Structure 1
Amino acid sequence: MTKTVPPQEGQTPPNADFTPTPAGQSGSGSMRELLRSNLRTSGIYVAFVAIVALFAFLTDGTLLSAGNITNLVLQYSYILVLAIGMVIVIIAGHIDLSVGSVVALTGAVSAVLVIQQGWPWWGGALAAIAVGLAVGAWHGFWVAYVGIPAFIVTLAGMLLFRGLTLQVLDNVSLSPFPAEYREVASGFLNGLLGGYGYDAFTLLIGGVAVAGYAISGWRSRAARVRYGQPVESLALFIAKVIAVGVVVMAFAWQLANARGLPIVLIILGVLAIAYGLITKNTVFGRQVYAIGGNLSAATLSGVKVRAVNFWIFVNMGFLSAVAGIIYSSRSNGAQPAAGEMFELDAIAAAFIGGAAVTGGVGTVVGAMVGGLIMAVMSNGMSLLGVDQSIQSVVKGLVLLLAVAFDVYNKRRAGASR
């Protein structure tokens, strides 16, 4: 006698006929689901463009000037690096409150070795990364293998590593770094393709980035078509690629007419591409989403939850060290108070960029856009002479609204089932 097992929710019965929905011919319900699933991501891009347009108008175009755009990249790059790691932590359902202290500690270690001990600049950078990996392993052990909530572990880490920073620096600032170290955050690639009155190499890199985006988007769209999933119309896809291309090339043009391509932007671009691929196209990335989406189901599916959680925090320690190197290079020294409130900026970037407070949702690109929104608001308000206290109020309200939007979407989705 054969026992019939009812299909689980969201699964197709084994002997049921299944006909994939033709691309571009989805029913109204499928298209509604497509629009609803993309609302968070699309909304953040629209919000970013609107905020840039608003501050560009209020500052009479100063926000989008070549010099100011270059300064935006240099001043907020370390927050974007932290946001990449933080969004992965949040997707898995955790939080990390210690990254600001780790930025300070890794910068302090690098400064002591390079400035006081005479190490080469790259030796100090490698030592900082080693410290960041050790810190990440420390957090990962307590969270993954002991079972203490990440909030408590990293709160303790915030205090512990801030104290260690004071010990390493003996409560005094150290400066200056050698010129090679300062190039990490303040250097530029300029004139590599000859003199044209602008930096042609920067424009070339911008064109390559646009081409990469178009190819990646086309492959993703083709994959969805093969599996019968709803996709946007071809005209809409082309319009989106053109819009992104115009924005990227305008950005590249401004950089090309300033000081060229910042080295830190190359570092940031490599990290964004690498982690975008890791989260989307690797087993580890899918396991991170599975743990944050449904821990019990992930465990029953054979995901090694402890190992994944451990490496999530090791990765966060690594990226905190990278941010520490960039920040100390940018400030040309190490200070005991370095990195204060950086964790809040990184968390805000992840949530504004579409990460869910309950885990399982978020993207690297979204987190970076969220960080750019915070950067543009801070820079725009500074150009307008807005008091620092008012800036904090505005950023706090934006964060609150972003989380409220996430909660609203979840309630709406639950009510429609």
Structure 2
Amino acid sequence: MTRTVPPASEPEAQTATAPKDVAPAVALHTGTSDVRALLTSNLRQSGIYVAFVVIVALFAILTDGTSLSPGNVTNIVLQYSYILILAIGMVIVIIAGHIDLSVGSVVALTGAVSAVLVIRQGMPWWAGALAAIAVGLAIGAWQGFWVAYVGIPAFIVTLAGMLLFRGLTLQVLDNISLSPFPSEYGRIASGFLNGLLGGNGYDAFTLLIGAVAVAGYAFSNFRTRIARIKYQQPVESFPLFVAKIVAVGAVVMAFAWQLAHARGLPIVLIVLAVLIIAYGVITKRTVFGRQVYAIGGNLAAATLSGVKVRAVNFWIFVNMGFLAAVAGIVFSSRSNGAQPSAGNMFELDAIAACFIGGAAVTGGVGTVVGAMVGGLIMAVMSNGMQLMGIDQSIQSVVKGLVLLLAVAFDVYNKRRAGTSR
């Protein structure tokens, strides 16, 4: 007598076939989530780039193309290079959860020291530059000691420094301006490299440097993409990746083309490029850089992980003092002298560049490249409004609103991310 086995019930049948039917759905869901996470993580930075392009195009239209003329593009580089240098150091300070209000006064004091040695004492131009850097390092060590080892908040220490170093500037200069610097010193911020490779109506060397920069950017991004794929991290599609490289390359070469048709490659741009590359590597690929992000992201966790918080904070401010000194040299070279009021409000421009460029108010977030884009947004806006003859008071209102909206966008993103969890 044979026993008939009843057919499996519907739920049991679904369970039996689940591994075959559900697996593709899970894989598809995971892929969609990865893409969504990738787009979300890049939204803020991509938005900054889009905003920069829109602002450049807007002022090009409003000024009938004057803002994109070769001469004006060169002037933007020369006029705002010292703010970008300050923003490099400031973004590291902000990532670590601090702030530095003294950098404008440090710019003034280091420029004053250089002017006294070179103009008043007749020393070589390089001696003045080295003395300015030494003063900047000493100031950074002074402020880093109070913040890292005494435990006074950076806001208070640097607010005191803003007053202290401005007073020392007045003492060093005897309340008067000193000028002019020798021509060698002036070339730091106003010199150009041109004619090295010739060119018919343009500087071929500038175009070559632009092409090298594009090639380096493409190679670096390709290596990063390969590494992310190797560790099974989400990446954008290859056509989108290529489109991004082509878009950035087109912008860089257009920028180089404009410089090549003006006065060639500014020396200060080379200094700025070296600093951007160096600090990009430091923040992304060194132990020190990872520790800075760890401190800003979660101080308690960083401490428990063995990060020497005091030492890292100390060197963060030493580095800020160094970059403020470099900015002081560039600004005094650009001004061809030292003034007691030099560097006024520079700290606010540098801070605004960092926040507009994606740095978080609470620390732990930010990039050197983002700070540079934020600084360029401020530079293009200021330059464009000046070309349009807009009153200085209105310019301040616009800058303030842009900064407020940038921080509001950061807060909105964090709230949305918290809600999604």
Shorter-chain TM-score: what band? over 0.9
332, 335, 360: which one pairs with 1:331?
335
Report whether the alignment pairs 1:217 with 2:224: no
Q: Which amino acid aligns with 1:240?
A: K
Cα deviation, 1:110-137, whole Å, max 9, x if unaligned, reads 0000000011000000000000000000
Corresponding residue for residue 47 of structure 1:
51
Q: Deviations over 1:242-271 (max 9, x none)?
A: 000100000000000000000000000000
Report the TM-score when normalising by structure 2. 0.93
Q: Deviations over 1:350-369 (max 9, x none)?
A: 00000000000000000000
Instruction: Output the CA distance in 1 between the equivalents of 2:407 and 2:261.
Output: 38
Report what 1:393 is aligned to: 397
The yes-or-no answer on 1:314 pairing with 2:324 is no
Q: Which residue of 1 aligns with 2:419?
A: 415
Distance in 2 of aligned mates of 1:61 and 1:172 = 40
Q: Residue 19 of structure 1 corresponds to which residue in structure 2?
A: none
Shift of 1:26: 5.5
For the pair shown, the structure with the greater C-alpha radius of gyration is: 2
The corresponding residue for 1:177 is: 181
Scaled by the length of structure 1, what TM-score is found? 0.94
Give, in angstroms, the shift of residue 196 of structure 1: 2.5
Deviation digits for residues 116-175 of structure 1 (CA, Å, limit 9, x no counterpart)? 001100000000000000000001000000000000000000000000000000000000
Equivalent-residue separation in structure 1 for 2:279 and 2:146 (angstroms): 24
User: Structure 1: which 5+ residue stretches go unaligned?
Assistant: 1-22
Q: Aligned partners of 1:159, 1:247: CA distance in 2, in Å?
A: 41
Identity %: 85
Alignment pair present for 1:148 and 2:152 = yes
Secondary structure in structure 2 of the residue aligned to 1:303: coil
Report the counterpart of residue 276 of structure 2 in structure 1: 272
Per-residue deviation, 1:370 = 0.1
Residue matched to 1:304 = 308
Partner residue of 1:373? 377
The partner residue of 1:84 within 83, 88, 100 is 88
Give the 5 Å matches for 1:43-122. 43-122=47-126
Count of residues paired in the alignment: 396
Distance 1:179 1:256 in 2: 23
- State which drifts further: 177-186 or 26-35: 26-35
Indicate conservation of the 8 Å contact 1:26/1:230, yes or no: no
Pairs within 5 Å for 1:235-250: 235-250=239-254
Separation in structure 2 between the aligned mates of residue 230 and residue 24 of structure 1, nearest angstrom? 13
Higher helix proportion, which one?
A: 2
Change (3 A) 1:24 1:131: farther
Which of 226, 232, 252 aligns to 1:228? It is 232
Which residue number corresponds to residue 356 of structure 1?
360
Q: Give the aligned partner of residue 13 of structure 2.
A: none
1:256 aligned residue (251, 257, 260): 260
4+ runs deviating over 4 angstroms: 23-26
- 2:127 is equivalent to residue 123 of structure 1: yes
Distance 1:260 1:28, change over 3 A: same
Q: What is the alpha-carbon distance in structure 2 between the residues aligned to residue 261 and residue 381 of structure 1?
A: 25
SS in 2 for 1:27: helix
Deviations 1:175-220 (A, max 9, x none): 0000000000000000001242210000000000000100011111
Indicate whether 1:208 and 2:212 are aligned: yes
**Does the 8 A contact of 1:173 with 1:336 survive in 2?**
yes
Does the CA-based 8 Å contact 1:24-1:232 persist in structure 2? no
Query: Which residue identity is paired with 1:79?
Result: I
Taking a change above 3 Å as real, the CA distance of residues 25 and 415 of structure 1, as seen in their structure-2 partners, is closer
1:134 counterpart residue number: 138
Residue 12 of structure 1 corresponds to which residue in structure 2? Answer: none
State the one-letter code of the partner of 1:213: Y
Cα distance in 1, alignment partners of residues 402 and 344 from structure 2:
20
What residue is the counterpart of 2:20 in the other structure?
A: none
Over 3 Å counting, the alpha-carbon distance change for 1:24 and 1:402 in structure 2 is farther
CA contact (8 A) 1:353 1:369 kept: yes
* CA distance in structure 1 between the partners assigned to 2:227 and 2:154 by the alignment: 36
Whole-angstrom distance in 2 between the partners of 1:113 and 1:344:
29
Name the residue aligned to 1:8.
Answer: none
- Give the CA RMSD over aligned residues: 1.3
* Equivalent residues of 1:24, 1:231 under 8 A apart: no
Counterpart of 2:33 in structure 1 is 29
Deviations 1:81-123 (A, max 9, x none): 0000000000000000000000000000000000000110000
Partner of 2:406: 402
Distance 1:107 1:24, change over 3 A: farther
Summarize the Cα distance change of 1:24–1:194 in structure 2 as closer, same or farther, 3 Å threshold.
Answer: farther
Letter in 1 for 2:166: R
How many Å separate the matches in 2 of 1:123 and 1:40?
43
Residues 368-393 of structure 1 show CA distances to partners (whole Å, capped at 9, x for unaligned) of 00000000000000001110000000
Deviation at 1:24, TM superposition (A): 11
Q: Distance in 1 between matches of 2:392 and 2:193?
A: 34
Shift of 1:28: 1.2
2-side partners of 1:326 and 1:402: how far apart?
28
CA distance in 2, matches of 1:136, 1:157: 10
